[in-house]
Amino acid sequence: MHRRQLLQLFGGLALGGVSGLRAQSRSRRRIVVAGGGIIGASIAYHLAQRGAAVRLLEKTEPAAGATRNSFAWINAGFSKRPREYYRLNHLSMLAYRQLAVDVGDSLPVQWGGSLAWFDRAEATARLERQVRARQAWGYPVHLVDDEEFRRLEPGVVRNSASPAAHATEEGNVDPVAATQALLDGARSAGAEIDYPCEVTGLDRSAGGLSGVRTTQGPFEADALVIAAGVATPRLAAMAGLGVPLKESPGLLAHTDPADRSVGRVVLAPGAHVKQKHDGRFVVGAALGDTAVADNPDEASPTDTSAERGRRMLDAAALVVPAISGATFDRVTLGFRPLPRDNYPVVGFAERQPDVYLAVMHSGVTLAPLVGRLAAQEILDDVRVDLLEPYRVERFG
pLDDT digit string, tens, across residues 71-105: 999 999 999 999 999 999 999 999 999 999 999 88
Residues in the chain: 396
The angle that helices 83-103 and 175-188 make with each other, rounded to 10 degrees, is 60
Query: Which residues are 334's β-sheet partners?
Result: 250
Mean pLDDT of 375-390: 96
3-state secondary structure of 334: strand
Closest CA to 200 of 184, 222, 216, 180: 216
- Domain chopping of the chain, boundaries: 3-68+176-239+340-395, 114-168+249-335
pLDDT-derived band at 16 (thresholds 50, 70, 90) equals: very low
For 390, which DSSP code? G
One-letter amino acid at 94 equals: L
Please tell me the CATH code under which domain 3-68+176-239+340-395 is placed.
Answer: 3.50.50.60
Quote the longest CA-to-CA distance of the chain.
69
Q: Beginning with the edge strand found earlier in the chain, give each strand of the sheet holding 171-173 in spatial order.
A: 73-74, 171-173, 109-111
Average pLDDT of the residues of the chain = 90
pLDDT of residue 11: 52
pLDDT of residue 295: 43
Report angle CA 91, 95, 97 to the nearest 5 degrees.
Answer: 125
**Over 70: is that where the pLDDT of 1 sits?**
no
CA distance 326 to 346: 40
Dihedral through CA 78, CA 82, CA 83, CA 89, nearest 10?
-60
Q: What is the per-residue pLDDT across 185-196, written as a single tens digit (0 to 9) for each?
A: 999 999 999 999
Please tell me the CATH code under which domain 114-168+249-335 is placed.
Answer: 3.30.9.10
One-letter amino acid at 166 equals: H
pLDDT of residue 326: 96
Query: Which residues are 119's β-sheet partners?
Result: none
Cβ-based burial of 59 (10 A; exposed 0-12, middle 13-18, buried ≥19): buried
pLDDT of residue 237: 96
CA distance 147 to 204: 64
